[in-house]
């Protein structure tokens, strides 16, 4: 009888389970890198997001989630373009805007992510546009080859240089990561900077609703798993998460690449390619909480916040939404479950 009640309670509020997870999280260390890169698309402003999030108390917000989290901010990434990349661009990728800058930035990011993972148990990459998803995930893969990727986005970002209609490289990062597609970038010397790549069955998309025709063709040809908004409407976020986790290898670490435009444009309007009909903030938080509760998330990106787009209040709500997502990923629980270590737990005895 008692056992049954206990189990039911756990199912309902999940607190018993959560508390066990909390103790597993002792000594979490988080490295943060800002990547003010906006050349994967053409709108100015996305490069301002890392510093804007810092000004809006990024560190405090994360710390509020779990006061034992040790945070190291590595500042903003710097990179330099070299002649070899310019030559690749001239000879092979002249139709792709800013190819050389893209490669230079991601090459530096691949190194930076590995450095952060040598010193920290988790890392966070703040963009910038989603072109940096390549370097962030590729760096993660060099450190942890057995990796799964959850790409939360309105877009699939899986264009090839031959299929992109916009020429914007923020619509292509996933094609640099997948084993099955990287051959299409044969002149990019990917084997030198990022030999490890991602098998297609370790990628799941959530939140898609604006897929280009050739992207749809690629997704279907390779049988890549994606849960577009219509599936989320049909079965709801908990089921989507269950299917996502069932699909990914249970022993793998997880990288979550979160494009702010996955959220509906009413909660995240200040972004370059906003699409209506997206995730509510609560759905976004639920997704992140559920992934985080696996204790397997080792890296995360937050990208595409553009403070130059929309009104002042648009920018405020977009930044707030982004911070809520990060807060839930790195410690905060809506249920109130937390560590008591920094609380004065004698307070009740003294007062009563
Ligand atoms: N990361 C993004 N917001 N990507 C939007 C990509 C839009 C479009 N599919 C393109 O390739 O240009
Ligand atoms: Mn994206
Ligand atoms: Mn997007």
DSSP summary character for residue 236: -
From 104, 180, 82, 177, select the one nearest 134 (Cα to Cα): 177
Q: Cα–Cα distance between 303 and 287 in angstroms, integer?
A: 17
pTM: 0.93
Ligand-binding site membership of 157 (annotated): yes
Q: Write the residue with the smallest CA distance to atom 11 of ligand 1.
A: 171
Question: pLDDT tens per residue, the chain (352 residues)?
Answer: 334 334 444 444 444 444 444 444 457 999 999 999 999 999 999 999 999 999 999 999 999 867 789 999 999 999 999 999 999 999 999 999 999 999 999 999 999 999 999 999 999 999 999 999 999 999 999 999 999 999 999 999 999 999 999 999 999 999 999 999 999 999 999 999 999 999 999 999 999 999 999 999 999 999 999 999 999 999 999 999 999 999 999 999 999 999 999 999 999 999 999 999 999 999 999 999 999 999 999 999 999 999 999 999 999 999 999 999 999 999 889 998 877 777 888 888 887 6
Please give the distance, rounded to the nearest whole angstrom, from the Cα atom of residue 270 to the centre of ligand 1: 15
Structure tokens at 297: 């998330």
Q: Which residues, at least 6 apart from 284, have a Cβ–Cβ distance to it below 8 Å?
A: 152, 258, 262, 263, 321, 324, 325
Each residue's pLDDT tens digit, 247-282: 999 999 999 999 999 999 999 999 999 999 999 999
Q: Annotate 40-95 with DSSP letters as a single string.
A: TSS-TTGGGHHHHHHHTTHHHHHHHH-TT-EEEEEEE------HHHHHHHHHT-TT
Buried b (16+ CB within 10 A) or exposed e, 2-21: eeeeeeeeeeeebeeebeee
Decide whether any atom of ligand 1 lies within 6 Å of the 101 Cβ: no
Distance (Å) from CA 89 to ligand 2 centroid = 23
342 SS3 class: coil
The answer to whether the Cα torsion of 128, 133, 135, 139 is positive or negative is: positive
Tell me how far apart the alpha carbons of residues 269 and 274 are, in angstroms, rounded to a whole number. 7
Cβ neighbors of 135 (< 8 A, separation 6 or more) are 35, 105, 106, 107, 108, 109, 110, 113
Q: How far apart, in whole angstroms, are the C-alpha atoms of residue 181 and residue 159? A: 10
CB 257 within 8 A of CB 136: yes
**For the chain, percent helix, then strand, then coil, each to nearest 5?**
50, 15, 35
Say if ligand 1 is within 6 A of residue 301 CB.
no
- Tell me the CA–centroid distance for residue 49 and ligand 2, in Å: 15
Q: For residue 273, what are the CA distances in angstroms to 207, 210, 264, 324? A: 14, 10, 11, 21
Instruction: Say if residue 344 carries a ligand binding annotation.
Output: no
Whether residue 153 is annotated as binding a ligand: the answer is yes
Q: Is 264 annotated as a binding residue?
A: no
Report the residue among 166, 174, 263, 306 best suited for mutation to probe ligand 1: largest number of ligand atoms under 8 A from its CB: 166
- Of 72, 184, 197, give the one whose Cα is nearest residue 140: 197
Token pair for residue 291?
């992934």
Domains and CATH numbers, the chain: 28-335 (3.40.800.10)
If you measure from the C-alpha of residue 347 to the centroid of ligand 2, how many angstroms do you get, rounded to a whole number? 48
Residue-wise pLDDT for 122-160, tens only, equals 999 999 999 999 999 999 999 999 999 999 999 999 999
Cβ atoms of residues 41 and 57 within 8 Å? no
- Which residue's C-alpha comes closest to atom 5 of ligand 1? 171
Of the residues 168, 268, 301, which should be mutated to test ligand 1's pocket, given the most ligand atoms within 8 Å of the CB? 168
In the DSSP assignment, the letter for residue 338 is -
259 is in an annotated binding site: yes
* Cα 171 to ligand 3 centre (Å): 8
Q: Is 157 in the pocket of ligand 1 (CB under 6 A)?
A: yes
The residue to mutate among 136, 155, 163, 274, having the most atoms of ligand 1 within 8 angstroms of its beta carbon, is: 155
């Amino acid at each position: 009888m008692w056992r049954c009640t206990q189990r039911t309670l756990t199912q309902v509020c999940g607190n018993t389970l959560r508390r066990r997870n909390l103790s597993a999280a002792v000594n979490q260390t988080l490295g943060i890198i800002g990547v003010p890169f906006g050349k994967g698309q053409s709108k100015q402003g996305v490069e301002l997001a890392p510093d804007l999030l810092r000004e809006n108390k990024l560190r405090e917000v994360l710390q509020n989630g779990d006061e034992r989290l040790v945070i190291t901010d590595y500042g903003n990434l710097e990179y330099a373009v070299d002649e070899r990349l310019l030559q690749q661009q001239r000879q092979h990728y002249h139709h792709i805007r800013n190819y050389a800058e893209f490669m230079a930035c991601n090459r530096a990011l691949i190194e930076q992510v590995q450095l952060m993972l040598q010193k920290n148990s988790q890392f966070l990459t703040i963009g910038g546009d989603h072109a940096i998803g390549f370097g962030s995930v590729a760096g993660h893969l060099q450190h942890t080859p057995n990796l799964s990727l959850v790409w939360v986005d309105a877009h699939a970002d899986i264009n090839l240089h031959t299929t992109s209609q916009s020429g914007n490289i923020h619509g292509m990062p996933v094609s640099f990561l997948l084993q099955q597609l990287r051959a299409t970038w044969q002149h990019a010397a990917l084997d030198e900077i990022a030999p490890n790549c991602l098998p297609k069955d370790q990628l799941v998309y959530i939140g898609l609703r604006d897929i280009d025709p050739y992207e749809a063709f690629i997704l279907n040809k390779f049988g890549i798993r994606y849960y577009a908004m219509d599936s989320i409407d049909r079965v709801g976020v908990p089921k989507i998460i269950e299917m996502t986790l069932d699909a990914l290898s249970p022993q793998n670490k997880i990288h979550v690449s979160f494009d702010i435009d996955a959220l509906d444009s009413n909660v995240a309007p200040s972004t370059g390619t906003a699409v209506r009909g997206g995730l509510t903030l609560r759905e976004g938080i639920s997704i992140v909480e559920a992934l985080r509760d696996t204790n397997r998330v080792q890296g995360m990106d937050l990208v595409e916040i553009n403070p130059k787009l929309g009104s002042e209040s648009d920018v405020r709500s977009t930044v707030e939404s982004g911070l809520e997502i990060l807060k839930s990923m790195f410690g905060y629980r809506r249920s109130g479950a937390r560590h008591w270590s920094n609380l004065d737990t004698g307070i009740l005895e003294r007062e009563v």
